[in-house]
Amino acid sequence: MTLFATPAVSGSEASSISLVRHTLLQTQRLLLRSTRNPVALLETLIIPCLLLFMLDTVIGGQIQKFTGGDALYGSVPMVAIVGALSGAVASGVMLGRERDAGLLARFWVLPVHRASGLVSRILAEGCRILAGTVIVVVVGYLLGFRFQQGVLAALVFLLVPVLFGLAFATIVTAIAVYTAKASLVEGITILCSLLMFFSTGFVPLAAYPQWIQPVVRNQPLSVAVDAMRALALGGQLARPLTLTILWSLGAIVVFAIPAAVGYRRSSRR
């Protein structure tokens, strides 16, 4: 009788209703865990806000003298994206710890939709990035940042870090599920720092040596910052926004399958 009962249970677990219900439950679990994790809160909310305040205080005036424009229109987008990247690294570390603790394997043997684990992580990451971006914008607003291109442009502004962050989170997930060393995932922070210091959000493009300007201008973080600056302040939008979408979708296409396969293997250990 047990052999005949198993397919019915499996069928209900694989239904679209189960996917939605289980995804929402696991998303809630991940968000609650993030709010209770001091390191995640530090890297996602506190450090980006402190970084924005420091940049505006220390070099904001010098950049304004150099360019004639407010440095916040580069600093706010850059800090919002860096916060998304830092949070993705923290989430990757947490994923590795859950795998090592056997939590992923426990979910695998429970009557839970197989896709809900990975989908819930994507959804929770998107919610976290959006919340962090809103908080950074609020701090920027207190410092003098303003949206000058309308409500629609402001909404797209908030969505750019979400798309960029989800693409980066896909890369981090693919690394986290294949390596047993959290230090390798945390090492991605070095890459984040390089992207930040060599981006048009940190200092204007003209401030960099001429030989490295093409790299700075076209690297992923710079094009995302330029797109967000245009959405907030005005200027050329088509090129940086197109490149941002291409960079993000390219990373998702390349790393999504390895991340899904690795997550499945980690869950079955």
Which residues have a Cβ under 8 Å from the Cβ of 80 and sit 6 or more positions away?
Answer: 48, 132, 133, 136, 137, 161, 228
Structure-token match 């994923």, residue found: 95
pTM check: above 0.75? yes
Burial of 124 (0-12, 13-18, 19+ CB in 10 A): buried
Rounded to a whole number of angstroms, the distance between the first and last alpha carbons of the chain is 28
What is the spatial distance between Cα 202 and Cα 222, in angstroms, rounded to a whole number? 9
Q: What share of the chain is helix, strand, coil (3-state, %, to 5)?
A: 85, 0, 15
Residue predicted with more confidence, 179 or 150: 150
Which residues have a Cβ under 8 Å from the Cβ of 257 and sit 6 or more positions away?
Answer: none
pLDDT tens across 192-216, in order?
A: 888 888 999 988 888 899 999 999 9
Q: H or E element: which one contains 77?
A: helix 72-100
pLDDT tens across 146-165, in order?
A: 999 999 999 999 999 999 99
Q: Which of 49-63, 105-119, 155-169 has the highest mean pLDDT?
A: 155-169
Residue predicted with more confidence, 19 or 75: 75
6 band by pLDDT with thresholds 50, 70 and 90: very low
9 band by pLDDT with thresholds 50, 70 and 90: very low
Q: Is the pLDDT of residue 184 over 70?
A: no
What is the spatial distance between Cα 179 and Cα 92, in angstroms, rounded to a whole number? 11
Which pLDDT value is given to residue 192?
83
Closest alpha carbon to 88 in 179, 8, 191, 3: 191
Q: What is the mean pLDDT of the chain?
A: 84
Range scoring the smallest mean pLDDT among 138-142, 157-161, 185-189: 185-189
The percentage of residues in the chain with a pLDDT greater than 70, rounded to a whole number, is 91
Q: Is the pLDDT of residue 261 over 80?
A: yes
The pLDDT of 10-37, averaged and rounded, is 80
- Greatest Cα-to-Cα distance within the chain, rounded to the nearest angstrom: 80
Residue predicted with more confidence, 60 or 140: 140
What is the spatial distance between Cα 22 and Cα 29, in angstroms, rounded to a whole number? 11
What is the spatial distance between Cα 30 and Cα 32, in angstroms, rounded to a whole number? 5
The percentage of residues in the chain with a pLDDT greater than 90, rounded to a whole number, is 38
Closest alpha carbon to 86 in 33, 27, 25, 34: 34
pLDDT tens across 64-79, in order?
A: 887 778 889 999 999 9
